[in-house]
Chain A
Amino acid sequence: MSSDAPAATDPLEGIAPEPGVAKPDPILTIDGVKRSFGGITAVNVDHLEIQRGIITGLIGPNGAGKTTLFNLMTGFDTPDTGTWRFNGAPLSGVPAHLVARRGMVRTFQLTKALSRMTVMENMQLGATGQLGERFLPSLIPGLWRRQEREITARADELLARFKLDHMRDEYAGTLSGGQRKLLEMARALMVEPELVMLDEPMAGVNPALTQSLLGHIKGLRDDESRTVVFVEHDMDVVFDISDWVVCMAEGAIIAEGPPSSIGQNAAVIEAYLGATHGQAPARRRKQAGGTDQ
């Protein structure tokens, strides 16, 4: 179950597969982040580092707090306590739109295609620093038309790469579920993020499209040297493309390590299957791509 990627030099070679282990070049460092809803602790992460330039898979049973952690990191929710740093700069309390502008962009478990806008408009929206987005300059097309052409050209390239170019001028609401996932990923790339956070990118995508989506995620790492964190339930997918896997249960990080080690990890097996031992998740063929919060 080894991936075809981290080729010659694996940056995480020799790193101990223990929860909260330090990594050579972390892009995101989380410290003591806690979030409770009433009496339930949804997220309670003591320490976690996300290595730059690799694909990190975030797994865990339903209700483990994966999406909540995503929401907290990207400013869509506020933790009770805790701090986190992105590229060395503290990110606690920074609103969602500024998190995105700093280079950490997330997608959503339930895709948010902007239905009554065309695929191209969805893409154009992703570009940052547009002069035409300011009130008064927007009234003078001469000021932003050139920038708009550049943005459109970049969007066309991405659409071609994600095989959505034939839908360019259709309303996004007419896309299929899988196409919406593709559009959301392509749109996130328009922001030019350093770190892409994908919340269940494969949920509800048909198997034929899954392969191409996987290819795109690997491409983010290999061709564009971006960092990827993704939540996924399908273990085959996780072990196929991750360089490192982090497992959460009941809000806490219970294990992390290279994919080869995580399937044998006793804590992971227990979290998925309960205290009585059964098969490791790696050998269960498909976990239904259900939803969790």
Chain B
Amino acid sequence: MGTVIFFDALRTAIGPTAAAYALLAVGLNMHFGYTGLLNFGQVGFMLVGAYGVAITVATFGGPLWLGVLVGIAGAVVLALILGIPTLRLRADYLAITTIAAAEILRFITRTSGSEPVTGGVFGLRQFAGGFYALNPIPPGSYLGPLSISHGRLWTMIVGWGLVAVFTLLLWALMRSPWGRIIRSIREDEDAARSLGKNVFYYKMQSLVLGGVIGAVGGAVFAVSLQTVQPDTFLPQVTFFAFAILILGGTATWIGPIIGALIFWFVIAGMQSALRRLSDAGQLPEFFGSQAVGATTLTFVGLLLMLLMIFRPQGMFGNKREMQLDVK
């Protein structure tokens, strides 16, 4: 049974959903890891990216590439709306505003009034056909024991490819003088200002860039599931993305990738193990089939706590950096 559980876990860890979450975490890394912006509404950018694709294709019959562009443009607008009033204020204002804005977006998409456009609580379907039509991989089952379908393999390649592209982009940005200003804002924005840097402008660039990456994650998420529903975009998605980022190591290029792999490996492995043990009647009813989700989350929370106690810098974080007094 061990190998079966292992393959279940591995299949999810390298799957398209994990890639979408890795993109969310890459965007958060830009916001939180490098710039010090506390964005608690990354799921809002994800929703905009996902619905940008779904609405453009399913509601208005547009092409898929246009949908992706609409999602990205929507993320830029959302970042500007959030940033203009809050980025001049203290960090916590952005946190409150973003978490509220993400919830507002979810309620707008699920309200019955917007049903003709967003599909309301039922969401939208059948918008990803254009993506799968481009699939160059011949039909079949791939990667041996993981038995991954050609469609899933295609979304995995595109999803993780996008993760690689944006990781490379952030790496190139952060080693440049532009990245130096971004990090100086995280350390002390008044110091950056006193040296002639337009702090507001750089924070806005960071918010837009990280938001766009989150929206691309949303598009990957929507296309891989081939459906969008408002209630998949709950606030906890943002906190999963934060968990991924912290698990892998904030302000490192590899952190979001490793974090997403480990996070989804543990979640899927745990769920598979509990479900299989429960089906075999080897688990007390307390952990039984109804409680698998809750038990898994409890376990992941415990794991994160232990990580914070024994390895606060994450898997790949810089320990020396962590120990410095930031103030």
25 contacts across the A-B interface (CB closer than 8 A): A76-B190, A95-B198, A96-B190, A97-B195, A97-B196, A97-B198, A97-B199, A105-B195, A105-B196, A108-B190, A115-B325, A115-B326, A116-B183, A116-B321, A117-B187, A121-B180, A132-B178, A133-B197, A134-B178, A135-B173, A138-B172, A138-B179, A139-B173, A173-B324, A191-B196
Contact B191 A108 (CB under 8 A): yes
C-alpha gap A101/B197 in the complex (Å): 9
Interface hub of B173, B177, B199 (most chain A Cβ within 10 A)? B177
Interface size class of A (residues with CB under 8 A): 35 or more
Shortest distance between the CB of B187 and any CB in chain A (Å): 4
Selected contact of A114 from candidates B178, B184, B196, B205, CB within 8 Å: B184
B90 contacts A by Cβ under 8 Å: no
Contact B321 A76 (CB under 8 A): no
A279 contacts B by Cβ under 8 Å: no
C-alpha gap A173/B326 in the complex (Å): 7
| Given A108-B190, A125-B195, A174-B324; A138-B184 close (CB under 8 Å) | no
Contact A114 B324 (CB under 8 A): no
C-alpha gap A171/B199 in the complex (Å): 22
Query: For chains A and B in complex, what number of residue pairs have CB atoms within 8 angstroms?
Result: 107
B192 contacts A by Cβ under 8 Å: yes
| Given A171-B320, A171-B321; A101-B177 close (CB under 8 Å) | no
The digit string for B109-123, where 1 denotes a CB below 8 A from any CB of A, is 000000000000000
Contact B178 A125 (CB under 8 A): no
Selected contact of B194 from candidates A106, A116, A121, A144, CB within 8 Å: A106
A190 contacts B by Cβ under 8 Å: yes
A149 contacts B by Cβ under 8 Å: no
User: Which residues of B sit under 8 angstroms from A121, Cβ to Cβ?
Assistant: 180, 183
Selected contact of A112 from candidates B190, B197, B205, B324, CB within 8 Å: B190
Q: Which of chain A's residues 111-156 have a Cβ closer than 8 Å to chain B?
A: 112-117, 121, 124-126, 128, 130-135, 138-139, 141, 144, 148
Q: Which of chain A's residues 171-200 have a Cβ closer than 8 Å to chain B?
A: 171, 173-174, 187-188, 190-191
A100 contacts B by Cβ under 8 Å: yes
Given A114-B183, A135-B178, 5 more pairs with CB closer than 8 A: A112-B194, A125-B192, A132-B177, A133-B181, A134-B178
Contact B196 A128 (CB under 8 A): yes
B176 contacts A by Cβ under 8 Å: yes
Question: Which residues of A are in contact with B by a Cβ distance under 8 Å?
Answer: 74, 76, 95-98, 100-101, 105-108, 112-117, 121, 124-126, 128, 130-135, 138-139, 141, 144, 148, 171, 173-174, 187-188, 190-191
Contact A116 B191 (CB under 8 A): no
User: Which residues of A sit under 8 angstroms from B197, Cβ to Cβ?
Assistant: 97, 125, 133
Contact A112 B178 (CB under 8 A): no
| Given A97-B196, A190-B195; A148-B183 close (CB under 8 Å) | no
B188 contacts A by Cβ under 8 Å: yes
Contact A114 B188 (CB under 8 A): yes
User: Which residues of B sit under 8 angstroms from A173, Cβ to Cβ?
Assistant: 324-326
Q: Which of chain B's residues 109-160 have a Cβ closer than 8 Å to chain A?
A: none
Selected contact of A124 from candidates B172, B177, B188, CB within 8 Å: B177
| Given A125-B184, A171-B324; A138-B176 close (CB under 8 Å) | yes
Contact B187 A116 (CB under 8 A): yes
User: Which residues of B sit under 8 angstroms from A76, Cβ to Cβ?
Assistant: 190, 193-194
Q: What are the nearest 8 A-B pairs in CB distance?
A: A173-B324, A132-B177, A138-B178, A138-B176, A100-B196, A114-B187, A112-B191, A101-B196
Contact B181 A125 (CB under 8 A): yes
